[in-house]
């Protein structure tokens, strides 16, 4: 009992310090999943255990590694050109048990901006990369955009919000299942799924396995390290780190003493870096530059990480080659339009039981319940009281296709809320 109490105190202290130390559970998650489904090890090895020679660093400074550098036998055909930008549509599933976990649209957009700066090497702290590693630092030519179209073809904000009865989520993927209090993934061939919620045990995030089950594909991030606004701690680098795993990168020390991360231009190091190192940190005969503690795939504090390498950029982009595990995603059109505004400040209180937006509607109507959704159906009536559309209430945020309705005034009732709400169709 005393040991359990000490552990609990440790985790609470960790929370109180703002999670200054990286707490990535991806390696633990991979080990657990591999033991349950051994064939995942084989799939993963096809993309993550390539020899160090497969990802060489013999390129000119600033050049993006491309298919010409891939050795024969690797999945090199059909790779996007080294100058092309791979755009990844993103859906953020917000799971909240308390209102503080229902992070704002501004916080989500701030995180997307951070990802784009980090993966394009447009981050302001890029100038802090030590001289020994500056020529290895890479613009990965990968960008992230909130989805503008959902799996049904309807406009979306790229944000799904769902109130849950689950107080804490572990690394058991419950956060990815509607039946278990989370929210189901959107098609991973068309979207990067990001789940935010209250992760347990000091875990800040974890990423799925390459070649794993589609319904588990994506990354999970603790709500209060997502972005850098509102109540978020840090600089949003947990998502940068976990998406690096989702794109095939390992921890820079290879998850073992002087291990190998499969990338030639990342020097070996004995263990994860902690805090905010400076100067040359030698280990594992990695002179003269020492450890690359400023790499996004180390455990250094957010404010002291600032780079991916050329080899890491090549490895991430190789997943989008023809035959690669992310190939279909490279051609997804789900972020080609302008996302809907997440028009309601979802953290604000409201005297109304439900909110409707946009109103007037031009083809899609979103209904947000301010408390747990009521039992029953949503029914839409025309101006003379005839029911013209009906569907079952399944979650706290419902999107309704109203494209078949003629222009005019309509009224909507939801379950036993007791009153009708007016909206207008106007094209």
CA angle 326-331-332, nearest 5°? 90
Strand-pair partners of 413: 379
Tell me how crowded residue 29 is: count the other CB atoms within 10 A of its CB.
23
| Distant-in-sequence, close-in-space partners of 6: CB < 8 Å, separation ≥ 6 | none
Task: Classify residue 248 as exposed, middle or buried by CB count within 10 Å of its CB (0-12, 13-18, 19+).
Answer: buried
Per-residue tokens: 382: 């025309």
Helix (H) or strand (E) holding 32: helix 26-36
Active site residue 322: no
What span, in angstroms and rounded, lies between the C-alpha atoms of 65 and 55? 8
Beta strands 377-381 and 408-414, pairing class: antiparallel
- The label of the residue with tokens 């600032």 reads 306
CA 86 to chain centre: 16
What span, in angstroms and rounded, lies between the C-alpha atoms of 390 and 78? 46
What span, in angstroms and rounded, lies between the C-alpha atoms of 424 and 340? 18
What span, in angstroms and rounded, lies between the C-alpha atoms of 112 and 353? 31
Q: Name the active-site residue from 242, 341, 352, 353.
A: 242
Closest residue by Cα to residue 296 from 313, 279, 319, 282: 313
CB 141 within 8 A of CB 62: no
Active site residues: 242
């Amino acid at each position: 009992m005393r040991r359990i109490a000490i552990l609990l105190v440790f985790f609470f202290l960790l929370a109180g310090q703002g999670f200054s130390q990286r707490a990535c559970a991806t390696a633990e998650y991979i080990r657990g999943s591999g033991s349950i489904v051994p064939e995942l090890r084989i799939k993963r090895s096809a993309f993550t255990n390539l020899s160090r020679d497969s990802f060489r660093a013999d390129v000119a400074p600033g050049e993006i590694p491309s298919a010409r550098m891939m050795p024969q036998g690797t999945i090199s055909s059909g790779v996007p050109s080294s100058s092309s930008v791979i755009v990844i549509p993103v859906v953020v599933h917000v799971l909240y048990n308390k209102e503080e976990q229902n992070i704002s649209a501004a916080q989500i957009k701030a995180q997307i901006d951070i990802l784009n700066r980090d993966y394009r090497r447009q981050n302001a702290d890029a100038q802090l990369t030590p001289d020994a590693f500056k020529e290895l630092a890479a613009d990965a030519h990968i960008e992230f955009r909130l989805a503008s179209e959902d799996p049904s073809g309807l406009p979306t904000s790229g944000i799904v919000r769902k109130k849950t009865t689950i107080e804490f989520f572990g690394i058991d993927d419950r956060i990815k299942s509607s039946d278990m209090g989370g929210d189901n993934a959107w098609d991973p061939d068309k979207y990067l799924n990001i789940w935010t919620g209250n992760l347990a045990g000091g875990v800040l995030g974890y990423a799925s396995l390459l070649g794993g089950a589609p319904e588990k594909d994506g990354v999970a991030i603790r709500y209060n390290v997502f972005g850098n606004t509102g109540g978020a701690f840090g600089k949003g680098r947990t998502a940068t780190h976990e998406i690096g795993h989702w794109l095939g990168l390992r921890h820079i020390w290879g998850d073992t003493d002087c291990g190998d991360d499969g990338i030639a231009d990342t020097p070996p190091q004995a263990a994860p870096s902690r805090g905010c190192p400076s100067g040359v940190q030698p280990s594992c005969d990695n002179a003269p530059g020492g450890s690359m503690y400023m790499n996004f795939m180390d455990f250094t504090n957010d404010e002291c990480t600032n780079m991916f390498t050329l080899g890491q950029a090549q490895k991430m982009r190789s997943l989008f080659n023809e035959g690669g595990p992310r190939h279909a995603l490279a051609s997804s059109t789900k972020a080609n339009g302008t996302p809907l505004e997440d028009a309601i400040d979802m953290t604000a209180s409201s005297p109304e039981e439900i909110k409707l937006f946009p109103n007037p509607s031009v083809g899609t109507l979103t209904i947000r319940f301010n408390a747990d959704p009521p039992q029953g159906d949503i029914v839409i009536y025309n101006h003379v009281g005839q029911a013209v559309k009906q569907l079952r209430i399944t979650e706290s945020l419902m999107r309704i296709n109203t494209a078949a309705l003629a222009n005019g005034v309509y009224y909507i009732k939801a379950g036993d809320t007791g009153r009708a709400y007016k909206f207008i169709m106007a094209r």
